[in-house]
Amino acid sequence: MYLPDFEYFSPDSVEEACQLLSKYGSKAKAIAGGTDVLVKMKSDLLAPEVLIGLGQLSPLKKIEYVPGKGVVIGSGVTHNEVRDSKVIQEKYMSVSQAAHHMANNQVRNRGTIGGNISNAVPSADMPPILISLGATATIVGTKGERTLPLEDVFAGPNVTVLEQDEIITEFVIPDGNFTGSTYMKFGLRASGALAVVGVAAAVQVEDGVIKDARIVLGAVSPTPVRAKKAESFLKDKQASEELFAEAGVIASGECKPISDIRASAEYRKDMVRVFTKRALDAAVNKGHV
């Protein structure tokens, strides 16, 4: 469990980080909190010759609300910083709560939201809630900047659409009309366990009628997936427990889980049914996003 040899760079700017990633190509890897990269290196699963540290880049550490734009979360913000941020708690308590329910305190202190997204692990906890709220990712490389809906960043298990010289700089949760949102994680232990199933729901409810709903399923497909048929089903209907249960059945038909050491595909599908119902109930009835 020793780290292999590597060269380490600590760039002073995002531009320099991208140039280094471009210069060293496939020999190089960006590292933020290192809770994934270093574990893989110690386990001989990864052996980059060059590590490009993103930890000193202050533009990646911001959390702010920009009127007309939304809540901006730098990719280098740690999970505990997401959890404790007053800006995030005031605007999106559900995001703060999702950060609180992942990993353990040590990992939350080091692990970043950018690393969580860039890893593209299907069971990751932050993608579902951020996608449900319509978040975008800002990606910077040597050729410039681009902004993508977060759901379009994922290309498959552990694969994103990022080029070798690109990093994610920030996520933006745009101002929306959601009246409630939540992320529900089902793991095999109460804490510190990866999600067997994760379901995020964001809803806009007026006079008891669901005007808009976004449901995002984690750990049950190669990438986080919107349950779009369930979302359409809910539109313009009176919110009720029966309606949420029906939406859960529809959502369970919209995922493609695998069987692995943590659960069978059939069990995961059934948990999607159960947790979609619960997530909708919570999002509709808790009275805040």
Residues that bind ligand FAD (CB under 6 A): 29-37, 39, 54, 75, 102-103, 107, 110-112, 114-116, 118-119, 124-125, 162, 167-168, 194
d(CA 215, CA 144): 32
List 201's β-bridge partners, or say none. 182, 215
d(CA 161, CA 157): 12
Which stretches of the chain are assigned E, i.e. beta strand? 7-9, 28-31, 50-53, 63-66, 70-74, 136-141, 144-149, 154-156, 159-160, 167-173, 180-187, 195-206, 209-218, 225-226, 237-238
d(CA 194, CA 212): 29
Q: How far is the CB of 253 from ligand FAD (least distance, A)?
A: 25
Helix (H) or strand (E) holding 22: helix 14-24
Between 35 and 132, name the residue whose CB sits nearer to ligand FAD: 35
Between 112 and 181, name the residue whose CB sits nearer to ligand FAD: 112
List 156's β-bridge partners, or say none. 159
Cβ-closest position to ligand FAD: 115
Between 50 and 274, name the residue whose CB sits nearer to ligand FAD: 50
Between 196 and 282, name the residue whose CB sits nearer to ligand FAD: 196
Between 199 and 243, name the residue whose CB sits nearer to ligand FAD: 199
Say if CB 16 and CB 57 are below 8 A apart: no
Say if CB 55 and CB 32 are below 8 A apart: yes
Between 29 and 214, name the residue whose CB sits nearer to ligand FAD: 29
Q: How far is the CB of 110 from ligand FAD (least distance, A)?
A: 6
Q: How far is the CB of 244 from ligand FAD (least distance, A)?
A: 25
Residue 172: partners with Cβ closer than 8 Å, 6 or more residues away: 69, 70, 71, 72, 73, 135, 136, 138, 147
Q: How far is the CB of 140 from ligand FAD (least distance, A)?
A: 9
CA 206 to chain centre: 28
- DSSP string of 116-168, one letter each residue: HHHHT-TT-SHHHHHHHTT-EEEEEETTEEEEEEGGGGEEETTEES--TT-EE
Q: How far is the CB of 32 from ligand FAD (least distance, A)?
A: 3
Between 100 and 229, name the residue whose CB sits nearer to ligand FAD: 100
Q: How far is the CB of 129 from ligand FAD (least distance, A)?
A: 11
Between 15 and 266, name the residue whose CB sits nearer to ligand FAD: 15
Q: Which of 158, 101, 151, 96 is nearest to 128 (CA)?
A: 151
Which tokens is 9 given?
Answer: 């760079």
Q: How far is the CB of 233 from ligand FAD (least distance, A)?
A: 28
Q: How far is the CB of 124 from ligand FAD (least distance, A)?
A: 4
